[in-house]
Structure 1
Amino acid sequence: MRIAIYVQDMRASGVVRTMIAMARAFEETDEAMLVAGYASGIFGAADVAPAGFVAAAERPKGKVPRLGAVPPLRRTLRELRPGVILSGGNFGHFSLWAATRGLGVPVVYVFSNAMEREGQPWRNRWRRFWSGLLVRGSGGAIVVGANLARSGVFAPHIASGKAVLIPNGIDLVTVPQADGTVPAAMAGPEPVILSIGRLQPQKNFEALIDAVAVVRKTHAVRLVVLGAGTDDYRAALIARAEARGIAGHVLFAGTTDNVYPWLRAARVFALASRWEGSSIALLEAMAAGTPIVASRTAGDAADVLDDGRYGLIADAENPQAFAAALLRQIDDPVMPGDRAQAYDAPVMMRAYHAMLTKAAAGARARAARA
């Protein structure tokens, strides 16, 4: 089976890292190709090997990159002629949907972000409509978090078998062993609170900065953030840190292709997201053995942490409450233990492969009847 896995670009995100691992795993039994709308990002062909890699375009095109990706992506897919396509993340669904119109290739969409977001009633309505439309016209759908599976958008499709719940996982076999390496940005006498994620409002770094300002009233700590974003948004976050009097103790460190040395050097991993599906960074923090504080709104974080058994859950919009959880994890941590074992990637990979096989078989059966 020729499988194409689509991502919008090659940024250092949890979605891209997961889809790279997926392509490499599928290459053991099938012909797998990672297809990127744009080559821009930290990863490339060497990271995807032995699976194949192709980028439809080198860099974002036009004022609306999702639309600009469509023509070159369509040409690329025509040349590849895959038997089935996996659309790896919400961000790329539109480009792939538009590029595959009339090609007759079954697409399985992965949904990893919440449909409902506070203060966005009209956009929430559009997300529900658009997501439902995608699922109905697809070869199948995968939702990565129990909170998504319970939503009104996906629950009926899960009941019918058109969609399935497959929790995120990470390949624990390939987790690098601790070798004592400490990134220069993590060195120093102050304990580090580390957060990982794109610099965008979803990740709620504003609330995390507020909570760290509260922590610093009693504990000398630093906040380090791994993730890329726009210069304007980074500047706004720096201005917020300045307003809270902690600018000298907050570092936006960019991106890395290996988060584990950073996680192991951190005293606490913090996930303050306003919404998530199922955070890969959270699973990586558990695998690294780093104490965790996650927001109540961070997707299925409460399920993953078993309501506080393997890490703390707190209200990120309450700086005092989130700071109290951070302080607890600094002084008397609740450790993740072996919880990551429940999210080992092979189980996830087999479930994804089964869904893709089902979608490809269904497409062949429909073609035979036509």
Structure 2
Amino acid sequence: MAASRVDPKQVLVVVPNFKKRLSGVTSTIIQLVPLQAQKIGIATLGPGLPDHLPKLTWWQVPALLKRPQGAAARVWHARRNPEMLAGVVLRDILRAPLKLVFTSASQRRHTRWTKFLIRRMDAVIATSRKTAAYLDVPNTVIMHGIDLERFHPAADRAEAARVLGLDPGQLYAGCFGRVRRQKGTDLFVDSMIDLLPSHPGWSAIVAGRATPEHRAFEDDLKARVARAGLSDRILFVGEHHDIERWYRALSLYVAPQRWEGFGLTPLEAMASGVPVVATDVGAFSELVEDGVTGTIVPRDDLAAVKASLSTYLKKLDLIAYQGKNGRARVTSHFQLSGEAERIVSIYEGLIRPWP
């Protein structure tokens, strides 16, 4: 649906996105809204979103001051503080008929300002049990899901590597996402520097972008790799929008974050039939079934990461077993369609039909 064709009267849910740069929150909106649009009148508002999403323009915002067609109120679903604030202003100052929903992914004590905003929400969603523990208001846990059509195992992993320009004779361990210390990229690179000389059949891939403030960090990692003589086996491939193709070339995925809000990459890897070594941050321990679909290791522990990776590099049967289990776990518990349906049920519970 083109933005110019969205009729505000038929919009029952508004999903604001006030951050122009792509982020995990933005990615979640992009994936969920098309599925939710099949079940309820929904539109996005703000920059940084693709044109195929139903979208309100800024000049249509005054229409939100009136009731939608067939309901007493519409839902405003915020995922950031500025979006919560905008909803509060619209509802409490401008008297817009809105019900406010907030999704929290944070795993830290909220500031007084954030708590003030959260207390004014009509419903709060937590993305994990750990996140819920930091909330002082009633909430519903709805974990993120994965598009199983986009992320799926490779029919032939060697061929999946070849079409990306990789060596089809090598097995690959990967670490995807922003390149920065918070993401633990150095833990992955340092582990690979130590392990790869003893495992000639393996190579490593770092996929993701280093923003300007983290460019020196990335340059230092590349220099370490070069000094070890492994630049041809520890590959920095940059940011890719077809990242699902790179998962299909992997035999092992590593999520070594020092801090994370939720973290989708373990689910993307498991959906692709790839076992995961993940640190105990974010929702990782709720996503990865330790010993079944991968391994959970302590946060910021290089020795633990390296020891776990060493086990996988030597046990291809373990990789095959856990990769199969990972796909089954995502299929059973973490489908994107299930996440979309549960959120829509929250919306429907807030919207009272208008007689």
Q: Give TM-score, length-normalised by structure 1.
A: 0.74
Alignment map for 1:183-332 (pairs within 5 Å): 184=164, 186-187=166-167, 189-220=169-200, 221-243=202-224, 245-246=227-228, 248=231, 249-297=233-281, 299-332=282-315
Query: Could you tell me which amino acid in structure 2 is paired with residue 294 of structure 1?
Result: A
SS at match of 1:85: strand
Contact kept? 1:296, 1:302, Cα under 8 Å: yes
Q: Which runs of 5+ in 1 are unaligned?
A: 57-72, 116-123
CA deviation string 1:269-317 (max 9, x = no partner): 11011222332211111110012110122x2212222232210112352
Q: Does 1:44 align with 2:50?
A: yes
**Deviation (angstroms), 1:340:** 0.9
Match of 2:174, as an amino acid?
A: L
Q: Counterpart of 1:78?
A: 62
Question: What is the CA-CA distance between 1:173 and the residue it aligns to?
Answer: 4.6
- C-alpha separation between the residues in 2 aligned to 1:251 and 1:139? 47
Q: How much is the aligned-residue C-alpha RMSD, in angstroms?
A: 3.0
Deviates more, 1:75-84 or 1:202-211: 75-84
Q: Is the 8 A contact 2:181 2:217 kept in 1?
A: no
The answer (yes or no) to whether the contact 1:13–1:198 under 8 Å persists in 2 is no
2:130 to 131, 147, 150: 147
2:252–2:276 Cα contact (<8 Å) kept = yes
Instruction: Describe the SS at the equivalent of 2:293.
Output: coil
Query: Partners of 2:168 and 2:60 in 1: how far apart?
Result: 48
Q: Is residue 7–residue 16 contact of structure 1 (8 Å, CA) maintained in 2?
A: yes
2:87 alignment counterpart: 100
TM-score by length of 2: 0.77
Q: Secondary structure at the match of 1:194?
A: strand
Helix, strand or coil at the partner of 1:308: coil
Unaligned runs of 5+ in 2: 1-10, 69-73, 92-97
**Percent identity at matched positions?**
20
Counterpart CA distance in 2 for 1:168 and 1:259 is 18
What number of residue pairs does the alignment pair up? 316
For 2:221 and 2:113, the matched residues in 1 are separated by 35
Alignment partner of 1:87 is 2:70: no
Q: Secondary structure at the match of 1:283?
A: helix
Offset of residue 28 of structure 1: 1.1
- Report the AA paired with residue 27 of structure 2: R
| Residues in 1 aligned to 2:173 and 2:102: alpha-carbon distance in whole angstroms | 34
Larger Rg: 2
User: Residues 140 and 195 of structure 1: is their aligned pair in 2 closer, same or farther, counting only changes over 3 Å?
Assistant: same
Report the equivalent of 2:106. 113
